[in-house]
Amino acid sequence: MSSACLIGLLSPLLGRGLLTLSSSLFAENGAIESAQAWLLVAAAGVFLMAYRRAGDARALFCVSMAALSLLALQREIPACESAFYDSGLCLHRAMKLPFSSVVLLGAGVLALIKRPRWRSFLDWRNLAWVWPVGIAALLLGLAEAAEHWMHQEMEETMEFGAYAYLLSFGLWTARAPSADARG
- Helices in 22-131 by DSSP H: which ranges? 31-53, 56-76, 93-113, 125-128
Q: Quick one: pLDDT at residue 58?
A: 87
Domain assignment of residue 15, yes or no: no
Domain assignment of residue 20, yes or no: no
Start-to-end CA distance of the chain, whole Å, equals 32
Q: Please check whether residue 9 is in contact with residue 134, taking contact to mean a CB–CB distance below 8 angstroms.
A: no
Q: Quick one: pLDDT at residue 62?
A: 93
Domain assignment of residue 32, yes or no: yes
Number of domains in the chain: 1
- Count Cβ neighbours within 10 Å for each residue of 87-105 and write b for 16 or more, e otherwise: eeebeeeeeeeebeeebee
pLDDT tens track of the chain, all 183 residues? 555 555 555 555 555 555 555 566 666 667 788 889 999 999 999 999 999 988 878 888 999 999 999 999 998 888 888 777 777 778 888 998 999 999 999 999 998 898 777 677 677 777 778 888 999 999 999 989 987 887 777 888 889 999 999 999 999 999 876 655 444
Domain assignment of residue 163, yes or no: yes
Largest pairwise CA distance in the chain: 53
Tell me how far apart the alpha carbons of residues 34 and 77 are, in angstroms, rounded to a whole number: 8
Domain assignment of residue 86, yes or no: yes
Q: Quick one: pLDDT at residue 168?
A: 93
Domain that holds residue 81: 28-175
Domain assignment of residue 139, yes or no: yes
Domain assignment of residue 115, yes or no: yes
Q: Please check whether residue 151 is in contact with residue 12, taking contact to mean a CB–CB distance below 8 angstroms.
A: yes
Domain assignment of residue 1, yes or no: no
CA neighbor of 104 nearest in space, from 149, 68, 137: 68
- Number of separate helices (H) and strands (E) present in the chain: 7, 0
CA neighbor of 29 nearest in space, from 90, 96, 74, 81: 90
